[in-house]
């Protein structure tokens, strides 16, 4: 199965060249499901927090993108209540040549540097744009409550 070979190669690449602040743990009995986490950067509104998510690879990977679902609550304009993250590379910008370590890099960047553009949560995005101190206070509060 091509998908499985590609996934094994991707895992080997990530193990050989780990991404700082990101951990990846494939399910023992199913390499198509990875438990991942991101430790927020020190310059992030979420510093001190570790955010867990599940990366699920479709049977026809790499021709279809993985799906990502955060299991740790996060006050973020690009991540909704269900844990979905708004990243174009996981939607309409997907290409089979994109490596999973690139995907993890993009997710890490998105988590650490929230942007009000292309939001899943318009209210949070508006707050980030119009009342940044309030946004930062709530982000910090949620990080302490859910991600410490």
Q: What are phi and psi of 56, to 5 degrees?
A: -110, 125
Q: How far is it, in rounded angstroms, from Cα 101 to Cα 104?
A: 5
Are 79 and 53 within 8 A, CB to CB? no
**Which secondary-structure segment (H or E) carries 139?**
helix 132-146
Look up residue 67 and give its two tokens.
């799906």
Q: How far is it, in rounded angstroms, from Cα 102 to Cα 122?
A: 26
- Among residues 74, 79, 86, 103, the one annotated as catalytic is 86
- The reply to whether 36 belongs to the active site is no
Look up residue 129 and give its two tokens.
């744009």
Look up residue 21 and give its two tokens.
């602040």
Catalytic site residues? 86
């Amino acid at each position: 199965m091509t998908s499985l070979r590609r996934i094994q190669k991707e895992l080997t690449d990530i193990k050989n060249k780990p991404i700082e602040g990101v951990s990846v743990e494939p399910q023992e009995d199913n390499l198509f499901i990875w438990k991942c986490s991101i430790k927020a950067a020190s310059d992030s509104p979420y510093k001190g927090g570790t955010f867990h998510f599940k990366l699920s690879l479709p049977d026809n990977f790499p021709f279809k993108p993985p799906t990502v679902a955060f299991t740790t609550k996060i006050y973020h304009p690009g991540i909704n209540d269900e844990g979905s993250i708004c990243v174009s590379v996981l939607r309409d910008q997907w290409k089979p040549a994109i490596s999973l370590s690139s995907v993890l890099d993009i997710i890490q960047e998105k988590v650490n540097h929230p942007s009000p553009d292309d939001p899943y949560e318009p209210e949070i995005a508006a707050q980030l744009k119009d009342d940044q101190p309030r946004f930062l206070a709530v982000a910090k509060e949620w990080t302490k409550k859910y991600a410490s």
